[in-house]
């Protein structure tokens, strides 16, 4: 049997499970099942525990790789396959979902229709087995094995010895099969269906398998270890519902009350328990109590539930769960470098731009506080930026609420921007369906938060600064670095400048180049672009006419650390490092002024960076 | 009746509920209950919906303020009060928790013990009423009213007309009372207990009350509107468990299967449903179906569950839920300004410092991915910083796992720092209990992440830089700003410097002062402190011997924007702005060198700030 590669140091979680395992090894009550002779051969000391998380971590201790037969734990998984085959209404017609308060082998058919009360009692499980689609018994068994293999993350097979033993002694279940045929719940010869039921019960699994199978249910049907879907997500809630209300037979109410997780046990000594969204537990220990549940299995589930606070109804509340960060354009700006006049306007009016960074799984409950917060700020809002970069998933109801929010906000004449939403295909689909012809106009998406901020800022500057234009040109006396120089002094520097023309998207500076010039933007905009190790490009800054760039590498003599690209057709004036150096001797006053202005620009950038840092902290 | 202040613009959530209300107003099936004559007077058109979140938002539409009697919806709340009065074991002795699959008025007593099967059927509710403590019937009723008032967030009273009507016609319930007395489940005269039961059913509530009551259960027993605790949190899971398994009588299995929320209905037309951790729903509409449940109540809960994805077993998974940000000391540094040699060492070895920012509700499931990640990095780890600033809550199991993590990491000779954990009293208690005598030594807490980072950095620098000391002194030629000046040039500047001595904690610069000097640290450390609008002090930077400070305000001539304080006994050299200005004329070469060094310092700070910003983005 393959072992996982050993971790360099055991996890505190494994430590904890080891402690539980040691503690309950001493619990020697219960008796190994004997009604199927083959099961009586089990070693009563076998004892494994596996805890697998919805994030794909698997912790296992004890005899977690010892094979045994799944028995009744197969019932919820086969029920799920029946739901996928026929859909909920057709399955509900044949098998109910009401708990009976009766024991596992009670027949519990509805007196009128013969419909078994639920799929967790044998009668209901046999009726469910009869719903599995496939032309022949061989194909049906194959489909059941494949389905369970997806949950376990490995190929599963039958324990033929146990199967023969089940089949030889399964008279009561054959009787149930015939009763179901009598009521037309089974519509064909019941004997092959009952055999198929014996086979599904004889599938050989390990405790580790059970943990991963349970975690797959906890993870919406997606096996978190293999990343493969074992059952369509929409049916998981139904499988867990019948486990929750009927999984532990006449112990179901007390189980939910005390342990609080949908669960299922099998007479070979297996138990699974599922905490939706969080984790799955598998326990294996053959000795059973009088109800047919593994004694240690129940004890360990109880201990884990109590110690790890796993009770379904003991959830901490979720206020602000989706809201990672709220900020405004007065604090958080795009990386476009602004003139003092622009910066002043953004500080004054930037609060109209409100930015929400959303995170985690977006549902009605996690999004509602964000929507409420938006509506409370709606008076002062002009531009709403919703950044989904850290949203892990979104469900239909969250999409619908965001649509309603978008609609209301745009009706008020304000703009809504959706940023980094490309991984949320459902959001796009819902918006398309709801907005129809207005989709392109109203569903405004940006794949970069920085560009979204700049879009809002530019709109805002247009509206508050008369004559402001996003693209402009500057004459020499408008150059920031020349502030405070006399016309004569400027005239002494200008001959040192070399004019260069770049086309839109042309690269002006490459990473790694030696810093040999200081650049002045005479016309157009240029951007500093960093290529991250992930290959993603990130804009660090954008400069417009009148600004200088490339000064940091000139000052600290480091090679160029980022690429600089022309955003538009651009004209630049270049001052070579040598000429800049030589000014110290030839025109020290000019040099001093230039250095002072460089210091001023750096100071402004540093103040802006510090302001942004304080938002994040 | 008081109305909430009108919001300036209706919320998208209210819009949505309005749509549901309109849609189901047309549903006219069902009949108003008549078996209690007073109830027959209800207007069948009354229809209210209230959705209240665990975060305290209350959305209501329709007749949400119309009073009616609570009826059987009182049962789970009184059950909760009995649990608080007597504890779980004593209550379980008198009333079971198994669903019966029977109708609401079935007697369903255990044939041997006479114990009612569960507290949601009348027999169980009457037995529960008999458990409420209090010397007299008046006191017991008062306690029930007070308890329910805490859930509703307002004082509640009886509808006397309905109570009289219930009492006059309640023969079946009196029979149940005598049966319970027969079995010694009730140990006193059953008649006053049955009267108390009639009274609890006659409490007058509104649909809004029901929504808030349900939200209180969703929020762990804490009323999210008033902030007052209605029931001890530990009993909420038990109340929700009996609602989940038995709340809808013989419809319970199907309800959980379809709607998937613990719920309870009353014959006056009320329904509550609870999605733990998220929200509560109250619906009011008098016409009932054949099982005694409000027709519109069920339809609306079904619609909300389906549309808002509220099914209990349909949770998205929680991977990385608690991990807000992971970073290392190679990317994220304390605000202590470092020399180039120190910076180089931190870039090289800083990865040994690993920082986790945790967020949200810390439970086993949300913390496990963090613990796993730590264990995977444990080889390269030297210092583990856990920042709890954004953790909303922590439960016992998360505390226990963090203790085990702390223990394992410190046993490996590494350091663990807990930052901003002051609001997590449980964590402190668990650590104290588990660590015992080693608590003070091992549970290393910092109330500021920045100071925690600096502690790690200083330790690291001690270990990798021979002779390094956290507090030092510098001679004039060690001053960063004098780099590149000849000994002669330094000798020309030194007479301009004025030595000042400050004592530990003395203020060196105050906010708002005019920037009149540039400072050089000759000995000790100084910190830049910003007082936030919240009144909290935040360290922006710390400078050590040889560094200059106060230069930004000197450059941009802004008033001092932060306070500067001596961290130790400090000596500084001050260069007045006038003398600095005058250097341009007298010693332009010196001035140029000083300005170049200033630019270099600013460039380094800006590069560091940009590096930190990229961590946050």
DSSP string covering B224-268, please?
TTT--BSS-HHHHHHHHHHHHHHTTGGGHHHHHHHT-S-EEE-TT
SS3 B463: helix
SS3 A64: coil
Does A401 lie at the interface with B, CB-CB under 8 angstroms? yes
Per residue in A408-435, pLDDT (tens digit) is 999 999 999 999 999 999 999 999 999 9
Q: How far apart are CA B593 and CA B600, in angstroms?
A: 10
Structure tokens at B482: 């004098």
Determine how many CB atoms are found less than 10 A away from the CB of residue B31.
13
Per-residue model confidence (pLDDT) at position A36: 84
| Under 8 Å between Cβ of A100 and A108 | yes
Q: Which of B64, B72, B108, B305 is catalytic?
A: B72
B235 is annotated as an active-site residue: no
Per-residue model confidence (pLDDT) at position A6: 44
Contact B277 A56 (CB under 8 A): no
Q: How far apart are CA B609 and CA B98, in angstroms?
A: 61
Mean pLDDT for the stretch of residues B299-319: 86
Q: How far apart are CA A128 and CA A27, in angstroms?
A: 36
Contacts of A15 in chain B (CB under 8 A): 404, 408
Determine how many CB atoms are found less than 10 A away from the CB of residue B83.
23
Sheet holding B353-362, edge to edge: B323-328, B353-362, B383-394, B415-419, B444-446
Cα angle value B590/B593/B597 (rounded, 5°): 140
Which of 478-537 (A) contact B at CB < 8 A?
none
SS3 A119: coil
Structure tokens at A596: 């002072």
Q: How far apart are CA A612 and CA B609, in angstroms?
A: 9
Per-residue model confidence (pLDDT) at position A4: 45
Does A53 lie at the interface with B, CB-CB under 8 angstroms? yes
Is the predicted pLDDT of residue B322 greater than 90, yes or no? Answer: no
| Under 8 Å between Cβ of A48 and A268 | no
Distance, CA of A195 to chain centre: 41
Contact A277 B365 (CB under 8 A): yes
Question: Of B303, B50, B74, B280, whose CA–CA distance to B166 is shortest?
Answer: B74
Contact B99 A245 (CB under 8 A): yes
Q: What are the backbone angles phi and psi of residue A394, rounded to the nearest 5°?
A: -140, 140
Structure tokens at A49: 């525990």
Q: How far apart are CA B82 and CA B91, in angstroms?
A: 7
Does A472 lie at the interface with B, CB-CB under 8 angstroms? no
Distance, CA of B276 to chain centre: 14
SS3 B32: coil
Q: How far apart are CA A464 and CA A460, in angstroms?
A: 6
Cβ neighbours of residue A504 closer than 8 Å, sequence gap 6 or more: A566, A567, A568, A569, A570
| Under 8 Å between Cβ of A407 and A436 | no
Determine how many CB atoms are found less than 10 A away from the CB of residue B182.
12
Q: How far apart are CA A75 and CA A247, in angstroms?
A: 9
Q: Which residue of A has its CA nearest to B246?
A: A253
Give Rg (Cα) of chain A: 34
Which of 61-90 (A) contact B at CB < 8 A?
none
- The residue whose two tokens read 């468990």 is B241
Q: How far apart are CA B402 and CA A588, in angstroms?
A: 62
| Under 8 Å between Cβ of A359 and A390 | yes
Which of 297-356 (A) contact B at CB < 8 A?
307-321, 324
Structure tokens at B196: 């108390």
Cβ neighbours of residue A190 closer than 8 Å, sequence gap 6 or more: A126, A130, A174, A177, A178, A180, A181
Per-residue model confidence (pLDDT) at position B4: 45
Mean pLDDT of chain B: 92
Of A91-105, A213-227, B153-167, B553-567, least confident by mean pLDDT is: A91-105
Contact A16 B246 (CB under 8 A): no
Does B12 lie at the interface with A, CB-CB under 8 angstroms? yes
Per residue in B279-293, pLDDT (tens digit) is 999 999 999 998 889
Kindly indicate the confidence band of residue B101, based on its pLDDT and cuts at 50, 70 and 90. Answer: low
Query: Residue B289 gets which letter from DSSP?
Result: -
Is the predicted pLDDT of residue B434 greater than 60, yes or no? Answer: yes
Does B53 lie at the interface with A, CB-CB under 8 angstroms? yes
| B195 CA: distance to closest CA in chain A (Å) | 29
Question: If you count them, how many residues does chain A have?
Answer: 617
Contact B319 A392 (CB under 8 A): yes
B24 is annotated as an active-site residue: no
| B609 CA: distance to closest CA in chain A (Å) | 6
Contact B556 A604 (CB under 8 A): yes
Determine how many CB atoms are found less than 10 A away from the CB of residue A523.
17
Q: How far apart are CA A162 and CA A139, in angstroms?
A: 21
Which of 177-236 (A) contact B at CB < 8 A?
218-220, 224, 236
B72 is annotated as an active-site residue: yes
Tell me the count of A-B CB pairs closer than 8 A.
356
Determine how many CB atoms are found less than 10 A away from the CB of residue B586.
10
Does B605 lie at the interface with A, CB-CB under 8 angstroms? yes
Give residue A540's region: left, alpha or beta (phi > 0; psi -120 to 50).
alpha
Per-residue model confidence (pLDDT) at position B609: 85
Per residue in B572-606, pLDDT (tens digit) is 999 999 999 999 999 999 999 999 999 999 999 88
- The residue whose two tokens read 């019960």 is A201
Contact A609 B613 (CB under 8 A): yes
Give the helix/strand (H/E) hosting A281.
strand A279-284
Overall pTM > 0.90: no
Question: Of A442, A149, A99, A396, whose CA–CA distance to A255 is shortest?
Answer: A99
Mean pLDDT for the stretch of residues B239-247: 92
Mean pLDDT for the stretch of residues B115-134: 95
Is the predicted pLDDT of residue B2 greater than 50, yes or no? Answer: no
Strand partners, B415: B383
Instruction: Report the relative pairing of strands A415-419 and A444-446 from DSSP bridges.
Output: parallel
Does A596 lie at the interface with B, CB-CB under 8 angstroms? yes
Contacts of B311 in chain A (CB under 8 A): 237
| B281 CA: distance to closest CA in chain A (Å) | 12
DSSP string, A144-155: HHHHHHHHHTS-
High-pLDDT (> 90) share of chain B, %: 74
Determine how many CB atoms are found less than 10 A away from the CB of residue B45.
12
Q: How far apart are CA B369 and CA B603, in angstroms?
A: 38
Q: How far apart are CA B119 and CA B103, in angstroms?
A: 13
Q: How far apart are CA B47 and CA A440, in angstroms?
A: 39
Contact B596 A600 (CB under 8 A): no
Per-residue model confidence (pLDDT) at position A405: 93
| Under 8 Å between Cβ of A359 and B316 | no
Mean pLDDT for the stretch of residues B176-184: 94
Does B390 lie at the interface with A, CB-CB under 8 angstroms? no
Going B556 to B560 to B563 to B569, the CA torsion angle's sign is positive
**E strand residue ranges, A329-411:** 353-362, 383-394
Q: Which residue in A16, A54, A584 is closest to B404 by CB distance?
A: A16
Distance, CA of A209 to chain centre: 24
Per residue in B83-96, pLDDT (tens digit) is 999 999 999 999 99
| B21 CA: distance to closest CA in chain A (Å) | 17
Question: Of B153, B129, B126, B160, whose CA–CA distance to B143 is shortest?
Answer: B129
Cβ neighbours of residue A49 closer than 8 Å, sequence gap 6 or more: A17, A20, A21, A60, A61, A62, A64, A207, A281, A282, A283, A284, A300
| B33 CA: distance to closest CA in chain A (Å) | 25
Low-confidence residues of chain A: pLDDT under 50 = 1-7
Strand partners, A520: A548, A573
Distance of CA A64 to CAs A5, A18, A21, A45, A56, Å? 15, 12, 11, 13, 17
Which of 30-49 (B) contact A at CB < 8 A?
none
Structure tokens at B144: 């029930």
Determine how many CB atoms are found less than 10 A away from the CB of residue B537.
13
Question: If you count them, how many residues does chain B have?
Answer: 617
Structure tokens at A184: 């037309």
| A355 CA: distance to closest CA in chain B (Å) | 14
- Please tell me whether the interface predicted TM-score (ipTM) of this complex is above 0.90: no
Distance of CA A399 to CAs A389, A577, B235, B257, B310, Å? 16, 55, 35, 24, 14
Per-residue model confidence (pLDDT) at position A104: 65
Sheet holding B563-566, edge to edge: B507-509, B563-566, B526-531, B537-543
Per-residue model confidence (pLDDT) at position A3: 42
Kindly indicate the confidence band of residue B308, based on its pLDDT and cuts at 50, 70 and 90. Answer: confident
| A390 CA: distance to closest CA in chain B (Å) | 10
From first CA to last CA, the distance across chain B in angstroms is 49
């Amino acid at each position: 049997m393959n072992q996982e590669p050993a971790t360099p140091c055991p996890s505190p979680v494994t430590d904890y499970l080891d402690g539980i395992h040691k503690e309950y090894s001493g619990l020697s009550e219960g008796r190994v099942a004997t009604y199927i002779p083959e099961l009586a051969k089990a070693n009563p000391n076998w004892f494994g525990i596996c805890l697998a998380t919805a994030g794909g971590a698997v912790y296992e201790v004890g005899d977690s790789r010892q094979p045994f037969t799944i028995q009744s734990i197969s019932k919820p998984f086969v029920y799920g396959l029946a739901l996928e085959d026929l859909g909920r209404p057709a399955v509900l017609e044949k098998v109910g979902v009401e708990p009976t308060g009766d024991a596992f082998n009670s027949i519990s058919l509805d007196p009128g229709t013969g419909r078994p009360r639920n799929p967790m009692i044998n009668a209901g499980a046999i009726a469910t087995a009869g719903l599995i689609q496939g032309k022949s018994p061989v194909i049906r068994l194959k489909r059941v094995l494949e389905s369970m293999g997806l949950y376990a993350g490995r190929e599963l097979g039958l324990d033929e010895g146990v199967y023969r033993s089940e089949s030889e002694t399964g008279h009561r279940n054959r009787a149930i099969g015939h009763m179901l045929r009598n009521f037309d719940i089974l519509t064909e010869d019941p004997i092959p269906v009952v055999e198929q039921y014996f086979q599904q019960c004889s599938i050989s699994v390990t405790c580790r398998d059970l943990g991963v199978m349970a975690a797959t249910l906890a993870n919406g049907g997606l096996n978190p270890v293999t990343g493969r879907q074992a059952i369509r997500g929409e049916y998981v809630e139904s499988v867990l519902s019948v486990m929750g209300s009927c999984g532990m037979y006449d112990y179901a109410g007390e189980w939910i009350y005390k342990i609080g997780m949908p669960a299922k046990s099998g007479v070979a000594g297996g138990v699974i328990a599922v905490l939706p969204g969080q984790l799955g537990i598998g326990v294996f220990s053959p000795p059973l109590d009088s109800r047919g549940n593994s004694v240690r299995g129940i004890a360990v589930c109880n201990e884990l539930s109590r110690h790890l606070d796993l009770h379904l109804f003991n959830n901490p509340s979720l206020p602000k769960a989706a809201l990672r960060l709220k900020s405004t354009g007065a604090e958080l700006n795009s990386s476009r470098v602004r003139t003092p006049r622009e910066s002043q306007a953004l500080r004054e009016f930037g609060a109209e731009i409100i930015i929400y960074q959303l995170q985690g799984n977006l549902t009605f409950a996690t999004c509602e506080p964000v929507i409420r917060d938006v509506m409370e700020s709606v008076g002062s809002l002009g531009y709403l930026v919703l950044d989904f970069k850290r949203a892990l998933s979104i469900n239909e109801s969250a999409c619908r609420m965001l649509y309603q929010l978008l609609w209301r906000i745009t009706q008020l004449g304000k703009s809504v921007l959706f940023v980094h939403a490309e991984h949320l295909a459902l959001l796009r689909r819902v918006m398309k369906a709801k907005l129809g012809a207005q989709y392109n106009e109203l569903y405004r998406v940006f794949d970069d938060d920085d560009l979204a901020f700049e879009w809002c800022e530019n709109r805002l500057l247009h509206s508050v600064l008369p004559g402001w234009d996003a693209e402009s040109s500057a004459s020499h006396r408008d150059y920031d670095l020349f502030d405070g120089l006399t016309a004569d002094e400027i005239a002494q520097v200008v001959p040192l400048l070399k004019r260069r023309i770049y086309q839109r998207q042309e690269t002006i500076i490459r990473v790694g180049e030696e810093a040999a010039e200081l650049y002045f933007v005479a016309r157009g905009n240029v951007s500093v672009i960093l290529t991250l190790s992930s290959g993603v490009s990130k804009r660090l800054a954008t400069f417009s006419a009148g600004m200088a760039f490339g000064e940091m590498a000139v000052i600290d003599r480091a090679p160029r650390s980022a690429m600089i690209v022309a955003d538009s057709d651009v004209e630049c004036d270049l001052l070579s490092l040598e000429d800049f150096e030589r000014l110290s001797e030839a025109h020290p006053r000019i040099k001093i002024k230039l250095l002072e202005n460089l210091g001023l620009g750096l100071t402004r950038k540093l103040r802006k960076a510090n302001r942004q840092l304080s938002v994040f902290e």
